[in-house]
Amino acid sequence: MLNKYYIIPILRYVLVVSFLLLMSACQKKVERQIGETCYNLGESSIGNLNDIFQDVEIIPLQFEGEYYPPNAKQVVVSDSVILVSDNRNRIYVFNSDGTYVSSSNEHYGMGPEDISMVSGWTWNPYSKRIEILTSKALSIFSRNFSFETTIPLPGSEGVIYDQIFDISESEHFLVPTGMSPKSHGIFKFDSNTSSLKEIYSYEDNVIAPVSMQWQSFFIDSNGGILFSPPAVTYTIYNLESNGKVTADISFIPGTDWLTKNKRSEYTSDRQFAEYLMTSSDYIPIRTLITGKYIFTLAKKGRKLSDMYYFVTNRLTKDTQAFELYNEGNYSFPMLSYACNEYIYAVMDKESIEATPQLLLGSEEACNNLAATDSETLVLLKYKTSNN
């Protein structure tokens, strides 16, 4: 199965390397308060896919050229485009129907219009441009991957950013990599002036600097911005465009979840790293937020069969639990990207065919999948339930 070959190496790398980080405080602390809404992860029922998802659409990604990526690590979906990247951070652009547009493959190098190392990227919905973060600059490309400009990033020794979220054509929130100094900061960047306006820290609520959180920013139903940090934490923040940060949502972990008290029991990084890899406690490693649900991916070990989704209804506060992988097949989609009404996964055709319940009994989706080539990567677009 395709996805297990890239998820586990990434997870192992993150879990083993990230614990070595020395966390330093940023210049301005987050305003500390208990989240207005609290959910209990320790109380959950066995989940049913049809309770969570109302409908699914399949969109085959029609790659062109000599290189066909074996996976899709990161996904961004906008009204008119779909963008995915693989483990090498090569970026591919598709129209909303999955037809191929362009890729970054021709722009790797050391020339003035090339990119030598991609640390993060996104699609700016305001400028309709692709934005690529490198260690020193923000490079801008059209959807056809025509180079437009490079903007120097503000100098901060050793800081590399791997997430960017746009609040206008020229204003952006940046998040550093877990291996960077100030790794628990949120930076506000003005690309018109190449200046860093504000720095915030969510360090106080971090339990461990490990995650598979490639999407940390979400537009809420009321138009606000929610921020789920790329770290083990039970806090989600409200982030205003003027830079004010408040704790907005909090989770109560169960007795079999990683907590700060359990973290304090390990006096050496080596011991804690072993705990992260083999623990029977749930360790949250990814959170995706829609208007109605919060999807928490948690692990108990190092295999796909040790991963579980906890899906919390934001209205009723009920949580359903799902196994991700069971008896050699996916029993729940490996989700990659979320917006208000929809949540997305990219999987290969073979994995979907092995678990037809992922298609929710949709005859149209089944017929469309049957007409897809066997090696094709497929975007699953799930509409969340109104129940």
pLDDT 10s per residue in the chain (387 long)?
Answer: 444 434 444 444 344 334 333 333 233 344 444 457 999 999 999 999 999 999 999 999 998 876 778 788 899 999 899 999 998 889 999 999 999 999 988 777 666 677 778 899 999 999 999 999 988 899 999 999 999 999 998 776 788 999 999 999 999 999 998 888 888 889 999 999 988 877 788 988 999 888 899 999 999 988 999 999 999 999 999 988 777 888 999 999 999 999 999 999 998 889 998 998 888 999 999 999 999 999 999 999 888 899 999 999 999 999 999 999 998 999 999 999 999 999 999 999 999 999 999 999 999 999 999 988 877 899 999 999 876
Neighbour-count burial for 7-28, b at 16+ CB within 10 Å, e otherwise: beeebeebbeebbebeeeebee
Cα 366 to Cα 56: distance, rounded to the nearest angstrom: 10
Q: What is the pLDDT of residue 189?
A: 93
Encoded amino acid at 280, one letter = S
The CA distances from residue 258 to 125, 191, 272, 308, in Å, are 37, 39, 11, 14
Token output for 178: 């877990």
Instruction: Kindly report the pTM of this predicted structure.
Output: 0.90
Cα 78 to Cα 204: distance, rounded to the nearest angstrom: 33
Burial of 318 from C-beta contacts in 10 A (0-12 / 13-18 / 19+): middle
Count Cα neighbours of 31 within 13 Å in the Cβ-side half-sphere: 11
Residue carrying the six token digits 């097949």 = 329
**One-character DSSP codes across 174-209:** EEE-TTSTTTTEEEEEETTTTEEEEEEE-GGG-SBS
Looking at residue 322, its pLDDT comes to 97
Q: Tell the residue number behind the tokens 């009994």, with chain if given.
A: 361
**Strands 307-313 and 293-299, sheet pairing:** antiparallel
Question: CA-CA distance, 153 to 159, in Å (whole number)?
Answer: 10
Determine the Cα–Cα distance for residues 327 and 134; give it in Å rounded to an integer: 40
Two tokens, residue 20? 């070595």
* 43 alpha-carbon distance from chain centroid: 25
Backbone φ and ψ of 350, nearest 5°: -60, -45
pLDDT value of position 26: 31
Round to the nearest angstrom and report the end-to-end CA distance of the chain: 32
DSSP state of 143: T
Name the amino acid, one letter, at 47.
G
pLDDT at residue 136, rounded to an integer: 86
* Length of the chain as a residue count: 387
